Amino acid sequence: MNTNAVKLSHSSKTLSGTVQLTGSKSESNRALIIQALGNGTVHIDNLSSAADTVTLRQALETIAASDAEETVIDIGPAGTAMRFLTAYLTTAKGNYVLTGSKRMKQRPIGILVDALKTLGADIRYAEEIGYPPLAINGGFMQKTPEVRVQGNVSSQYLSALLLIAPSLPHGLRLKIEGELTSRPYLSMTLNMLLQAGVDHEWSGDTIHIAPQQTQPSTLAIEPDWSAASYWYAMVALSASGNIFLPELKRNSLQGDMAIVDIMVHFGVASSFENGGLRIQKTTTHSDKTLFDFKACPDLAQTAIVCAAALKRDLSFTGLQTLKIKETDRIAALQNELVKFGVKLVEDGEICHLDTAGLYQPEHLVIDTYEDHRMAMAFAPLALMFDPVQINEPEVVEKSYPDFWKHLKQQGFIIS
């Protein structure tokens, strides 16, 4: 979508029918690294069409085909690709410069680099210490099988290490220090490795993966639960909503399946039927006031914006990692919510919504800060405020490229 802004409205405020979501970006990106290290043994079904996944796939193809003295890999704004490729390139023969967008050069990578250096990897910072771009001399001699990594910053650092673990000569003993955030994403990584025949042991704060080969296998990618979360918000804000999302499973690997339990408190019921998920608006009310997003931080913006529109003065915790995402998501939420009179107040590790000043502006214009989740979290407001303008709408291509098309199919007027 080549435009600087879209205006959204919905005349009937009623949603019904089927929405076919793209494959999970989180699962797809892990599958691509497992496949790349699998020497032709691993196949992938239903790979995501998200821009981040396309970027990672193209980068891996470039790496496999390169015979240059030094290969530059530019992953743009793709954060998962930056973390996973930082680890992957240490195992690939050759010299590489791994870089990205201006914002990517502001996102810390030091914890992962330090861990890889402890293992014996040859990595240098090409510009500012602690941040991309990175100069990586691949194919290192492993010095130790054990590393210690903080668990409360980004689970992607841990997943990046675990994905390369079976290919290391001495395997990996990963000790997680402190509290572990986003634990479901770590479980996803280990479960996908297991599907490819890679065993592990997880005891207490230590995960051990011995050196081993992947086995002939097919990794089937489930639709994206993060994408599903926006449809939960739309159903919650609709006058009447009944949406079917095919192929989503009750026993999902994705931590963002937590949206099922979260949105019960926003009047949305879920039922698994006919090979998928049905979500319906209900009249159920909840007195729950505190929500913890430590295990599923990517759902926070969706829930916070939805609560604000419903005039619910809720509190939220587990948001620490939001400050180092595509943008500082706490600051971005504060900037945009105040445009319709809602305050998001930080109080230590808890954020509180104050909706006392909620009003309907004549022109609600939402900035997205190069962040796909800002665009998709605020778009459902078109069911409450008419119209809503979303600036830089193309950011959704990062994880859900069909988002605007699917909204049109559900009766949203987009101009």
Q: How many angstroms separate the CA atoms of 42 and 198, rounded?
A: 12
Q: How many angstroms separate the CA atoms of 349 and 300, rounded?
A: 14
H/E segment holding residue 207: strand 206-209
Residue 298 annotated in active site: yes
128 SS3 class: coil
Nearest to 298, CA basis, from 374, 363, 222: 374
The length of the chain, given as a count of residues: 415
Q: How far is CA 274 from CA 115, 253, 259, in A?
A: 45, 20, 20
Spatial neighbors of 338 by CB under 8 A, at least 6 apart, are: none
Sheet holding 14-18, edge to edge: 14-18, 240-246, 276-281, 268-273
CB-CB neighbours of 410 under 10 Å: 18
| 88 close to 111: Cβ distance less than 8 angstroms | no
Residue 341, phi-psi category: left (phi > 0), alpha (psi -120 to 50), beta (remainder): left
- Joined together, the tokens standing for residue 134 give 């990175």
Which of 52, 256, 298, 367 is flagged as catalytic?
298
Q: What is the DSSP letter of 23?
A: B
Q: How many angstroms separate the CA atoms of 356 and 358, rounded?
A: 6
Q: How many angstroms separate the CA atoms of 314 and 230, rounded?
A: 19
- Joined together, the tokens standing for residue 204 give 């207490």
CB-CB neighbours of 102 under 10 Å: 8
Nearest to 56, CA basis, from 41, 70, 67, 44: 44
Supply the residues annotated as catalytic: 298
